[in-house]
Structure 1
């Protein structure tokens, strides 16, 4: 699967990007609300990239990390990634997550990449439902989900034991019919 926007090329991460991927995942402000820790290594990045499906969107129960790369210049610059997971139990249901290199945050790349992936899932892949969730303290990602016109479905108050503490998750979703009505 390959998507392109005005500023980004989007496709599964490659082995050549493993170092850059590992570098921004180790940043404390990046790892804070994510499932990994600041000790995310090059070997971890290489294993994740090697083990993910390489073609199309993921099948039920699979996850794929799609790299967000700047289109300008002759050298491809990885600015972040979008994780796309296909729900194992619910057909045509996908969960998205986004991570950006701190040097490229605040430039609209996350919204641009997510919009392209949402469009691809809905228009080309027949998705019925897309969900995202974020830690209630992560105001940047909550703002992003609202900017993408995802519907707030609710709060899971202190329902997630995460990195040694109870945290609250905010859940957002978009149905195909809602996307079509935009």
Structure 2
């Protein structure tokens, strides 16, 4: 019985020793990667001074792939990234139909189709593009709305956005809405 306990204690000691040595190896490797002057470590590091941007740069970097922007009282659907080999763009507009009387989407880049029941609160829009490449911050469509009387606040959100390229590949897009 005593031999069995000694073997068990020896195995436990060896296992703990391996565990401690392994922890030191991992800690040493992380120290080399992060704190020493290796390229990988430099890529992982950041500085508060390096990461500070102006407010305009921060909002520009954080814009969704497609978003709604208000300019001079008009709503425009814009893209924050370049799109190439474009065949079509589709997205859903979600809004409170009790606060909006009329919603219309017109695109300058192609034919616009609205799928679903009009003014239901959820409308899917497909734009079959006439152009192949779209530059960054281009206007994809104009969204015309008419709010009901005595409505002070409403919101329009974009969901389920994607674009299809000429090879029929589907790419999901990030979206954001707007409060009016």
TM bucket (normalised to shorter chain) is under 0.3
Larger radius of gyration: 2
Instruction: Calculate the TM-score normalised by the size of structure 2.
Output: 0.27
Structure 1 length-normalised TM: 0.27
The structure with the largest strand share of the pair is 2
